[in-house]
Amino acid sequence: MSDISEQIANAPHLVEADRVVKNFRVGRGLSGGHFVQAVSDVSFHIDSGETLAMVGESGCGKSTVGRLILRLLEPDSGAVRFEGRDLALMSGSELLQTRKRMQIIFQDPYASLNPRMSVYQIIAEPLVTHRVYRSKKETEARVMQLMAMAGIRPEYAGRYPHQFSGGQRQRIGIARAIALNPKLLICDEPVSALDVSIQAQILNLLRDLQMEMGLTYLFISHDLSVVRYVSDRVCVMFLGKVCEVGETEELFARPLHPYTAFLLEAVPKPDPHLRKEKKALLFGEMPSPVNPPDGCRFHTRCPYVMEICRHEAPALNWVENRQVACHKEG
């Protein structure tokens, strides 16, 4: 191995989550309320230039993970590292500089835009906040460049968010997110609020920007057809825990965790002959994140449950070339 190849092989991951835990207090009273266990002992990594998709049912903790990476939320325990550095140990000035390299695209393209600001002002805001350019002319030139990159016509610069469709608003949000040349973009269900035809346009835009700017994506979604199109690897979560992490095509072709298999089974089939096949259905009720079951959190709904599943949580181990948290695959 050459010196350069060895350096690349030994380089730290762009993002590392190491046994991250996040709980939220709910309710009041003499007992002090209860805690929702949103993220429990979650570990994964994202390499530079790749797209890691995070999937699971609503409430599984995937959006919370995205906000923990950006340090919009503080973890209760565990560590989140960006470019090898623990975000929790950074000073205010260091975190400010690091945040230039980490941005987010929100699910609702209207709620994420200030209705009192024009398109120009929205896109220019991060440039002005971080004092990227000394002159107004330089800022204006950069805003026009970003609008072109996101497919926004230059004559729209003086318009306001309510004057645009959902897809156009999301383009504005994307232009704002890439303004500071970030390395990492958290895409929190960026196309779920859009029509299917517009979804394809936005997804193609994200892929083009990734190739052009060398972006890294954490793509949070519950739409597995979208995930298969955009991602290099997939991380499956259930009730705050990671179930399976693997290469996209391999995971779709042969899921190892029972929950992953049920998720894929639920995807609508375009072939009318395949639609007639009987689908396996999950039984039982969804466990509560306030009082999750002991052992494997999926065991109350799993058809392969064993006695060990009821009292011992499975570790996230390597099985073949992917990670799986399942006693059946241990």
Cross-strand partners of 104? 186
Look at residue 329 and tell me if it is in a domain.
Answer: no
* Residue 196 shares a structural domain with residue 301: yes
Query: What are the DSSP calls for 244-295, one per residue?
Result: EEEEHHHHHHS--SHHHHHHHHTSPPSSHHHHTSPPP---SPPPPSSSPPSS
| Stretch 3-13: mean pLDDT | 49
Retrieve residue 205's tokens: 């835009």
- The pLDDT assigned to 290 comes to 85
What's the CA gap between 146 and 128, in Å, rounded? Answer: 14
HEC readout, 174-238: HHHHCCCCCCEEEEECCCCCCCHHHHHHHHHHHHHHHHHHCCEEEEECCCHHHHHHHCCEEEEEE
162 and 186 in a common domain: no
**123: alpha, beta or left, given left = phi > 0 and alpha = psi -120 to 50?**
alpha
- What total number of domains does the chain contain? 2
Report the pLDDT value the prediction gives residue 3, as an integer from 0 to 100: 42
Residues 193 and 245: their CA atoms lie apart, in Å, by 26
pLDDT at 117 over 70: yes
Q: What is the pLDDT of residue 31?
A: 56
In-domain check, residue 330: no
What is the pTM assigned to this prediction?
0.90
Q: Does residue 289 carry a pLDDT above 80?
A: yes
Mean pLDDT to the nearest integer, 111-140: 94
Q: Which of 41, 29, 10, 26 is nearest to 291 (CA)?
A: 26
- Please tell me the least confidently modeled range out of 128-132, 252-256, 264-268: 264-268
Average pLDDT, rounded, for the chain: 89
> Could you tell me if 215 and 294 lie in one domain?
yes
pLDDT, one tens digit per residue, over 49-79 is 999 999 998 889 999 999 999 999 999 999 9
**What percentage of the chain reaches a pLDDT higher than 70?**
91
Residue 322, pLDDT score: 92
pLDDT score at 88:
92
Question: What gap in Å lies between CA 189 and CA 186, rounded to an integer?
Answer: 9
Give 7's pLDDT tier (boundaries 50, 70, 90).
very low
Residue 5 pLDDT: 37
The two three-digit tokens of residue 295, written as one number: 């052992």
Question: Could you tell me if 95 and 228 lie in one domain?
Answer: yes
How many CA atoms within 13 Å lie on the side-chain side of 59? 9
Report, as an integer, the average pLDDT of 138-164: 96
Per-residue model confidence (pLDDT) at position 277: 61
Identify which of 50, 9, 53 has the alpha carbon closest to the alpha carbon of residue 237. Answer: 53
Mean pLDDT, residues 80-105 taken together: 93
18 lies in the same domain as 167? no
* List of residues 6+ apart from 224 with CB closer than 8 A: 55, 252, 263, 264, 267
Let me know whether 191 and 176 are in one domain. Answer: no
Q: Tell whether 149 and 238 lie within a shared domain.
A: no
If asked whether residues 170 and 263 sit together in one domain, one would say no
Of 269, 274, 262, give the one whose Cα is nearest residue 236: 262
Mean pLDDT of 76-102: 93
Q: Residue 275 pLDDT more than 60?
A: no
The per-residue pLDDT for 197 is: 87
Task: Clarify whether residues 19 and 44 are in a common domain.
Answer: yes
Among 135, 165, 181, the domain boundary falls at: 181
Q: Is the pLDDT of residue 280 over 70?
A: no
Work out the burial of residue 74: count CB atoms within 10 Å of its CB; fewer than 13 is exposed, 13-18 middle, 19 or more buried: exposed
Q: At 234, phi and psi to the nearest 5?
A: -125, 135
* Residue 136's pLDDT band (cuts 50, 70, 90): very high
31 inside domain: yes
pLDDT at 109: 83
Cβ-contact 101, 182 below 8 angstroms: yes
- Domain limit, last residue, from 158, 181, 204: 181
Q: Which domain holds residue 159?
A: 110-181
Q: Name which of 151-160, 196-205, 259-268 the model is least confident about.
A: 259-268
**Domain co-membership, 242 together with 259:** yes
CA 148, chain centre distance (Å): 26
User: Residue 135: what pLDDT?
Assistant: 94
pLDDT at residue 1 is higher than 50: no
- CATH code at 91? 3.40.50.300
Sign of the CA dihedral with 322 first, then 43, 102, and 72 last: positive
Q: Which of 156, 181, 206 represents a domain boundary (last residue)?
A: 181
Evaluate if residue 11 carries a pLDDT over 60: no
Residue 284, domain member (yes or no): yes
Separation CA 47–CA 215 (nearest Å): 11
137 and 34 share one domain: no
Q: How confident is the model at residue 316 (pLDDT cuts 50, 70, 90)?
A: very high
Side-chain half-sphere exposure of 179, counting CA atoms within 13 A: 32
Two tokens at 301? 């709904």
Residue 19 has pLDDT above 90, yes or no: yes
Q: Which distant-in-sequence residues (6+ apart) come within 8 Å of 303 by Cβ?
A: 258, 280, 283
Residues 153 and 245 in one domain: no
